[in-house]
Homo-oligomer: A and B are copies of this chain.
Amino acid sequence: MKKHVFNAGPAILPEVAKEKTIDAIRDFAGTGISLLEVSHRSKDFQAVMDESTALFKELLGVPEGYAILWLGGGASTQFFSVPYNLLRTKAGYLDTDTWSAQAIKEAKLFGEVVVVASSKEGGYKFIPKDYVVPEGLDYFHITSNNTIAGTEIFAEPKTSAPLIADMSSNILSRPIDVSKYGLIYGGAQKNLAPAGVTFVIVREDLLGKVERAIPSMVDYRTHIAKGSLFNTPPVMCIFSALQALKWLKEMGGVKEMEKRNIAKANLIYNTIDNSRLFMGNVAKEDRSRMNATFSLKKEDKDLEKEFLDFAAAKGMVGVKGHRSVGGFRASIYNAMPIESVQALVDCMKEFEAAH
């Protein structure tokens, strides 16, 4: 049976990225050596690093003055690396989900943190909008897409401070104006690559301004100077990321992705809005195009397990909502074809007809 993988991350990858990864594990770039055994200092792997960086820059339209890093340790490592490198006295954070809350917690170890706005009281079911970012911040941090709640920030907040975004779960899903940001980071295992690699896009002139001593591995300048080869990088994940980037370019780039992602999101949210049984979890204008969260209407709550079993029997994987929210979640990242979303929607309609 065909499986439709709606996992929130690690998540679905383009078929071609998986196939090329397998080919390279057998024979990397015609070297006769496995991708899993190749030296990260070989010229063939250097070519992978260079092409990944160039293509990432090209697809996102990264302007001059920014460096691209490929690191290990996940976005969670960036939660403390960002303040370690950039927080002198005071930073602002927007609190929109568990992940921003985690980023806030780590930043507090390094200086004063102003939570400029939060939707925590409302169960993170919307993106705060009517707030003013105070002056005098070292930076202002947002989580651009919230995988657990299922909300997304579509308009960059106004701030005079450098804007920093955790884009783990919506990077490359639509065009962004990178010049509006000081730093963008994310774990790649949602919209780009297998679990194990983290990307950082950083405006270089922001660095070197804190007084504290920074461990070499945490200091972005180390990795900029060494082209992400200060230590052994996650070789296979970077190779797979490159294959996904090539696929994305061939598909038409981030503009085409946005079109497809809007179509997929409309398909599932329209189904939800026209349903007797299901309802969306969050404010309509803040609905994520990457993670559609929904629930059964109150009177039908007892059908939750039944729907999950029904969906699983039809090949739907990862439709269960995050344990802190419950209900359902369909993560429909770039690599997800609309056919899989249609399969889920059909499944929802069939279930509804039977109840």
Contacts and interface: CB of A to CB of B under 8 A. Distances in A.
B76 A73 contact: no
A162 interface: no
A152 interface: no
A40 B190 CA distance: 12
A10 B228 CA distance: 15
B240 A237 contact: no
Interface in A243-284: none
A215 interface: yes
Contact of A72 (B12, B77, B105): B77
Interface string A70-96: 011111110110001000000000000
A289 to B, nearest CB: 19
Contact of A105 (B39, B189, B216): B216
Contacts of A196: 72, 196-197, 234-237
A109 B233 CA distance: 24
B195 A235 contact: yes
Contacts of A231: 74-77, 187
A305 interface: no
A73 B77 CA distance: 9
A106 B215 contact: yes
Nearest to A74: B231
A21 B21 CA distance: 11
A87 to B, nearest CB: 12
A217 B236 CA distance: 23
A5 interface: yes
Contacts of A354: none
Contacts of A109: 213, 215
17 contacts: A5-B33, A7-B37, A11-B37, A18-B34, A25-B25, A39-B318, A73-B73, A74-B231, A74-B232, A75-B231, A77-B217, A79-B216, A80-B218, A84-B215, A106-B215, A194-B236, A234-B237
